A and B are shown apart, each in its own frame.
Chain A
């Protein structure tokens, strides 16, 4: 099956610092990767869509200068939370779609970010 690995699983950082989260497709090439944010007991909120080699498309209300997304290869996308603040604390999840797939998306295990 298709495996998406996200790293780290959890991270604690100080307010004002930046944190990078990696999302890797381990056994397939992902032309498109997605980044979601999930608050406790809520649904997934799409933050941005990234295609390999091009700029990410951000959803309305998501600050692109705060949440930097890089999709440099067909197997790796990164989300950097810049100048993190406590309100950025959340569960961040990535997903990836295969190049030849109709629409199927595979999710990473998520990253719990806590900003103190």
Chain B
């Protein structure tokens, strides 16, 4: 059973456009929702994360929107740049104890020049 569903699987956006990636979760015990960016041959890097006490978090061009009642959260990349082309993973964890992350399947983003 996949606990974190991520869509779309791939995405092509023009330079300057908005990239939107969505995730939905099932486990209501999840209380920490990070997004990771991964370039080919590299490990994932934490991009931005949110906890359920807020509905939105913004860091530069990256924004997480969180809808607790719908059990959904999304990543918005404003003014997308070719350098943003990477695979993005959403994840979720329960927070208490050790932090075992449940990952979505990933979205390959290509920002065309």
Contact = CB atoms under 8 A, between A and B. Distances in A.
B34 A104 contact: yes
A44 interface: yes
Q: Which one of A44, A91, A103, A105 has the highest number of Cβ atoms from chain B below 10 Å of its Cβ?
A: A103
Contact of B89 (A43, A101, A110): A43
Given A41-B108, A42-B106, A103-B93, A112 B100 contact: no
Contacts, number: 62
B49 interface: yes
Interface of B: 32, 34, 36, 41-46, 49, 89, 93-95, 98-101, 103-106, 108
Contacts of A93: 43-44
Given A103-B32, A103-B93, A110 B99 contact: no
Q: Which one of A42, A93, A102, A105 has the highest number of Cβ atoms from chain B below 10 Å of its Cβ?
A: A105
B49 A49 contact: no
10 contacts: A34-B100, A42-B106, A49-B98, A93-B44, A102-B99, A103-B93, A103-B94, A104-B99, A105-B34, A107-B36
Contacts of B32: 102-103
Q: Which one of B34, B43, B100, B104 has the highest number of Cβ atoms from chain A below 10 Å of its Cβ?
A: B43
A97 B105 contact: no
Given A43-B89, A93-B43, A110-B42, A105 B108 contact: no
Interface residues of A, number: 27
Contacts of B46: 104-107
Interface of A: 4, 6, 31-32, 34, 41-44, 46, 49, 51, 91, 93, 95, 97, 101-110, 112
Contact of A43 (B34, B94, B98, B105): B105
Contacts of A101: 99
B43 A107 contact: yes
